[in-house]
Amino acid sequence: MKKIFIKSSIALCVMLALPACNNQADSNNNVTTKTSTATKTQTPDVEKFLTKVEKELTALNLENARAAWIYSNFITDDTASLAADADQKSTEAGVRFAMEAAKFDNVDVSADQRRKLNTLKQSLVMPAPQDAEKSAELAKIGSELGGMYGKGKYTTKAGETLSLGDMTATMATSRDYDELLELWQGWRTISPEMKPLFARQAELANEGAQGLGYQDLGAMWRSNYDMPADEFGKELNRLWGQVKPLYDDLHCYVRSELAKTYGEDKVPQDQPIPAHLLGNMWAQSWGNIYDLVAPDNADPGYDVTEQLAKHDYDEIKMVKGAETFFTSLGFEPLPETFWQRSLFTKPADRDVVCHASAWDLDAKDDIRIKMCIQKTGEEFNVIHHELGHNFYQRAYKNQPVFYQNSANDGFHEAIGDTIALSVTPKYLKEIGLIDTIPDESKDIGLLMKMALEKIAFIPFGLMVDQWRWKVYSGEVTPENYNKVWWELREKYQGVAAPVDRPADAFDPGAKYHVPGGVPYSRYFLAHIQQFEFHKALCEIAGNTDPIHRCSIYNSKAAGEALNTMLEMGSSKPWQQAYKVLTGKEQMDATAVLDYFSPLQTWLKAQNKGKQCGF
């Protein structure tokens, strides 16, 4: 559960297009505060203001979190109304805080005070023009786009009306080419009507961003990473360049295996892969087609789901087991309130939001998870991931409310996934779930499963915002939205629309984060960072196994290093937090290559003589 205002996102003063913010953008569109020496004055009022805001923010965040928790666990019209009221109250307060913080733009303040003031202006994503009617219009468009996506359904040729959940479940398991194609096309019938609204949203948000000296909204988004906006874009491309050879090898192998199921007439070996055949509505991860591409003799000799049942693991024992992972690193056990207040199983008497999530209600010790736990190996991993969020939340609890968040918006997801990377056969043996560790010949299957999820996602994680940045800069106009979307998907993913798309298609709108206005680069960053964090922690732990076999379970040294970084929250630029764990301030995707090295060697052997590339 994220804080209501204190998020590593886009400047809230940009959202409001405040005149006082106009001197915040430097020549690189990096958020800074330029002041004139002649206009600077010393004043104690800033500390009084920050103290007042901190107190109010703490109370508002608790009120909002409680309302959201109740709604998620007791879904009724009344709880929905209460949650909406609390959210509106918080949003209005955030606007007020940003406007008041902007008054100190030309005041001499300490570096810490300046960071807190800027944090108050970094919560919302869409910058509204300084015009009441346009601001209201922008808010209405956002609500309408979200509603269109949330209500989206498709009625099949057979007359069955399906939700997105229904369709994604079928796409995960069906191997019927025509059925997959119908569902793929069907979901994309919901988005054409979004196109004019999205175009107007981009126009209004750009106006707000430009009023502050940014070139466009994309430049403003890229300015949120403690580095110049132009450098951030280049950094993402540099990281992608490091990973691309591994992705290309995976793509070549998967394409050839899919042809064995569907035929080369359906999957040409010199063309991008048809997007509907990869087991996922958006072809963003490919784990659901593991059965079609699994290496021979890849069975590791155990099934975690079966082992959980054999050892009498119920839902609580699964969570207790994951907690033990963290206490083995030296972290304090979860508070008793965690066990009293979390949701672990789906209630039989009411509707709840079952999507797994980690919550921090009071910014101190009232941390919880909300899951409808299934007793499976996959869910055992997810629990480790969610507790990673909880222990991160508790680690930065002593920071001022302004800094109670991850170092950048990729860190929280990366930390959760870093912990999950330690759920290895070695770890499973140490906790008594399996008796023997499979030999290294079984590693290829385990690495293939992970690559289909992690490596397959990386170019998709990159291209979503690449497309939006082009839209916001004006390089891509509405008539070319869909054309450029698929050009980028072919360029980065080697994935293509399975049929010609209609002239009015708006396929980007079929992905939640586009109509939802959620920046996507954070997910790309998390998929890079988690492997570098894992590698660094394994080295600290004195690991001598190959990196993909390492678990930091029981390493107090690794736990101490991890906690040092987590305790920082967002109090310093993310590069400084990065250095605490990795020893350097620049991300490096070679850790990804190290992790998957055995798989890449195997893939190259399998691809020998094949026509690769797209």
- Is 553 marked active-site? no
- How far, in Å, are 1, 285, 393, 429, 593 from residue 420 at the CA level? 19, 17, 17, 15, 18
Task: Tell me how crowded residue 257 is: count the other CB atoms within 10 A of its CB.
Answer: 16
**Residue in the block written with tokens 């874009």:** 233
- Is 413 marked active-site? yes
| 427, 520, 523, 553: the active-site residue | 523
**Angular region, 424: left φ>0, alpha ψ -120 to 50, beta rest:** beta
User: Is the four-CA dihedral 97, 102, 106, 109 of positive or negative sign?
Assistant: positive
**How wide is the angle at C-alpha 500 spanned by C-alphas 502 and 198, nearest 5°?**
40
Please give, one letter per residue, the 3-state secondary structure of 301-339: CCCHHHHHHHCCCCHHHHHHHHHHHHHHCCCCCCCHHHH
Contact 360, 393 (CB under 8 A): yes
CA nearest to 3, candidates 67, 81, 62, 72: 62
Paired strand residues for 154 = 162
- Is 205 marked active-site? no
Biggest alpha carbon distance in the chain? 74
- Is 389 marked active-site? yes
**How wide is the angle at C-alpha 368 spanned by C-alphas 362 and 369, nearest 5°?**
145
| 158, 160, 355, 605: the active-site residue | 355
**Residue in the block written with tokens 């107190």:** 55
Paired strand residues for 161 = 155
| 251, 276, 384, 389: the active-site residue | 389
The pair of structure tokens assigned to 303 is: 């099934």
Q: How far apart are CA 173 and CA 291, in angstroms?
A: 10
**Residue in the block written with tokens 């002593």:** 398
The pair of structure tokens assigned to 417 is: 């996934």
**How wide is the angle at C-alpha 427 spanned by C-alphas 426 and 431, nearest 5°?**
120
Task: Tell me how crowded residue 127 is: count the other CB atoms within 10 A of its CB.
Answer: 30
- Is 496 marked active-site? no
The string of DSSP codes covering 275-290 is GGGSSSTTSS--GGGH
The pair of structure tokens assigned to 8 is: 């590593």
CA nearest to 411, candidates 527, 322, 538: 527
Q: How far apart are CA 28 and CA 214, in angstroms?
A: 9
| 182, 323, 379, 386: the active-site residue | 386
- Is 548 marked active-site? no
Q: How far apart are CA 380 and CA 295, in angstroms?
A: 24
Q: 3-class DSSP state for residue 272?
A: coil
Q: How far apart are CA 243 and CA 130, in angstroms?
A: 42
Helix 443-473 and helix 229-262: axis angle, to 10°? 130
**How wide is the angle at C-alpha 389 spanned by C-alphas 388 and 390, nearest 5°?**
90
| 259, 298, 356, 496: the active-site residue | 356
| 235, 513, 539, 557: the active-site residue | 513
The pair of structure tokens assigned to 341 is: 């207040």
Q: How far apart are CA 28 and CA 231, in angstroms?
A: 9
Q: Which residues are catalytic?
A: 355-356, 385-386, 389, 413, 513, 523
